[in-house]
Structure 1
Amino acid sequence: MSAEPPGPSSLVSSAFPAPPPFFKHFTPENLSAVKHHKKLGTPTDELPPELQYLIPPPPPENSYRCFGDSWTIPDVLPTLPELGITQLYSDPPTITTATATTATATTTPPPSNTRALSLLRLSKSLLLSYLELISTLSLNPTMSAEKLTDLRTIMINMHHLINEYRPHQARETLILMMEEQVERCRRERDENLKAKEVVKELLGALEGVLGVGLGAGGEERTEDGEGAGERRGVNGEEARERDWEMWRVLEGMR
């Protein structure tokens, strides 16, 4: 069985394409062979065909295909005239900046209120066209094709205006995600500080309980050198009382 020649796949692209056939070459043996060739410094074009599929392709430069659609690099929203659609709203004004040697024309992005006003006008035109379509269907249904075309053009214009907000939406979504991460980190910090204070109180309470049975700051010695704990005994009634007090402190700190 001969291996497929290296290069781009000639399969017809679709919205839900099948897995590429070269996934069968990703075996443990081929992966080990590729690592061995990398250590030896073997050029990619000198590798066997089944190993060339394991080498990542270079990043695309001008365009790429994804789920059957072609995307440009950088991703630029095409204009309605480029798509063959009549544009029903005006473009932002072009400002020409003149210098001593050259004149540069720059297009300033339209303010948000301009887009909102255009969307409002288009929505009113859409409602009016819909009423005209209903009237046409009731009087002469054969003349409805033109009204349907008008509705389609208005909808595409509105969709194109909304798509101009996508970069702004992406920025605001990223800002919101970063603010949520910062707020989560602050909450975790505050919870850690509260837990630290609780642990301090618990240790202080336990030290107080231990100080009752053992003496604060160490056992108090008698004149003959015998400790108070040694005279009372470790397993005496006071030791049991001390243990019960420690458990009550632990239960109270929950």
Structure 2
Amino acid sequence: MDDEETELRNPFPSPPSHYTRYTNHNLKLLELLKERASEGVDISTLNQYDVLSDQTDVPEWPLATLEKPRVDWILEEGHYTVFGDTWFIKETIPSLAELGGHQLYPQDPGVDRRPALRSILRSLLVTYSKLLTSLLAPPPTSSSEGEPEWKQHLEWINVLAQNVMAAANDLRPVQARGNLELMMRRQLELRREETKTIHSKCDSLEAQLAELRQSAQSLSSAASANPSQGATSSSVPPPDPSQMSHEDVLRWAEELV
């Protein structure tokens, strides 16, 4: 019980517990059972204890459960069942007629449905107007007149609305394809904008490096042309300390700075 509760609380459930049965020993027993069985005999109907009496560790559960599913049967039937759920090989959206409804537009996707859908919308508006008129009419004087008119209009509106919703559901793959195209185009535009920004930044950095390189070359050429100019211009000879006052020392220090 504790293991089951832990399994239910686990957001990523473990594989089914029967996967532990697919051991090398059990698979060898399955192959041996198939070899010893008569041709055309279903191994699920055999008594595996009698057929494999000379083998050890024969499991209690039937070895036939280890058989691989028949892919040809799945392709022939068009669906398969896993843990009680039926999955179709080719996912299709059932039409309104297949679901038991009254379909008013053509089923063939190659046929233009717009004229039929326009007729459905016009009929829906006309029926809605008739429904309001029938609701404003005075109640019948006797109960032998049959089904009320407003109920008939309401049933027809229900049929028309089902057709509109079914036609809209048929267009969901087209809408998904269009949304995917728009998303991919937007991603492409964003990448182009990011690439353009990176290129402009690289061009700006290259221009700055070129200016710095040119400035360094100018300074090096100027220094090589006048090697003693910087030293003579920046050096200030100190005055004679015996003839200096306090103000002269401060002035001389400021000149050095």
Superposed displacement of residue 129, structure 1: 0.7
Query: Aligned partners of 2:212 and 2:86: how far apart in 1?
Result: 69
Asked if 1:110 corresponds to 2:110, the answer is: yes
Aligned to 1:3: 3
Structural mapping, 1:55-134, within 5 Å: 62=80, 72-92=88-108, 109-111=109-111, 114-134=112-132
Structure 1 residue ranges without an equivalent (≥5): 5-19, 35-41, 48-60, 93-108, 223-227, 238-254
With normalisation by structure 1, the TM-score equals: 0.54
Superposed displacement of residue 160, structure 1: 1.0
Superposed displacement of residue 81, structure 1: 2.0
Higher helix share: 2
Aligned to 1:199: 205
Aligned to 1:12: none
Letter in 2 for 1:189: T
Structural mapping, 1:228-243, within 5 Å: 228=227, 232=230
Query: Aligned partners of 2:131 and 2:87: how far apart in 1?
Result: 36
Superposed displacement of residue 173, structure 1: 1.4
Aligned to 2:9: 24
Query: Aligned partners of 2:157 and 2:82: how far apart in 1?
Result: 32
Superposed displacement of residue 43, structure 1: 7.5
Q: Is the 8 A contact 2:127 2:157 kept in 1?
A: yes
* 2:113 aligned counterpart, secondary structure: helix
2:19 paired residue among 27, 33, 44: 44
Q: Is the 8 A contact 1:133 1:144 kept in 2?
A: yes
2:224 paired residue among 216, 220, 232: 220
Query: Aligned partners of 1:44 and 1:220: how far apart in 2?
Result: 84
Q: Name the count of aligned residue pairs.
A: 167
1:143 paired residue among 141, 144, 149: 149
Query: Which is higher, the Rg of structure 1 or of structure 2?
Result: 2
With normalisation by structure 2, the TM-score equals: 0.53
* 1:84 aligned counterpart, secondary structure: coil
Query: Aligned partners of 2:124 and 2:134: how far apart in 1?
Result: 15
Q: Deviations over 1:6-39 (max 9, x none)?
A: xxxxxxxxxxxxxx86243579xx99xx9xxxxx
What's the % identity of the aligned pairs?
25
Q: Deviations over 1:118-172 (max 9, x none)?
A: 2211110100110111111122664322211110110110111122211111111
Asked if 1:169 corresponds to 2:154, the answer is: no
Structure 2 residue ranges without an equivalent (≥5): 23-78, 140-147, 236-257
Asked if 1:208 corresponds to 2:214, the answer is: yes
Q: 1:194 to 1:3 in 2, by over 3 A?
A: closer
